[in-house]
Amino acid sequence: MRTLYQIIGIFILVGIAGLGSNAMRSDPLLVWGSPHLEAEANASEINTLRISLERARELYKTDQAIFIDARPEPAYRDGHIKDAINLPWQRAEEECFRVLEQIPMDRPIVTYCDGKTCDLSEHLARFFQDLGYTKARSLHNGLSRWQKKGLPLADAKG
């Protein structure tokens, strides 16, 4: 019987140590509550950051927004949305002011990259929002979707 109490005691101590360790993490794991609520909060944050293809097309056709390609320069040179500026996410901090000094704070910005798993444009849009460009939005999987709709592109020649 004594062994059973020792095992139970060990489990309790391990549980307390684990919860204490989790509480001290900068990004604690969800222990209580619903993971679905956490996912919903993250999804709503992404949804306020993203722009629909239809809205992006409307802003493009009326020349209301600046389009910024978040991909590396070689990918941009291989083809991009016509008139888009290249500002690779990896160099955003060093080069953003070169680009942003020409853009009024209230002008919409549409960032994009390519691929369903590419999140460079979301990082770049959030970066612009943090700098005060509240109308910065990300066009998820932008280049492929733009191309699929037959919207204006610039190829490697221009």
Higher-scoring residue by pLDDT: 155, 157: 155
Over residues 22-28, mean pLDDT: 67
Q: What is residue 37's predicted lDDT score, i.e. its pLDDT?
A: 45
Q: Read off the tokens for 153.
A: 């592109």
Tens digits of per-residue pLDDT, 34-82?
Answer: 454 444 444 445 567 999 999 999 999 999 999 999 999 999 999 999 9
**CA angle, corner 83, sides to 151 and 118, nearest 5?**
70
- Please give the single-letter amino acid code of residue 74: P
Q: What is residue 13's predicted lDDT score, i.e. its pLDDT?
A: 83
Q: What is residue 39's predicted lDDT score, i.e. its pLDDT?
A: 47
Q: Read off the tokens for 69.
A: 């390609």
Higher-scoring residue by pLDDT: 18, 7: 7
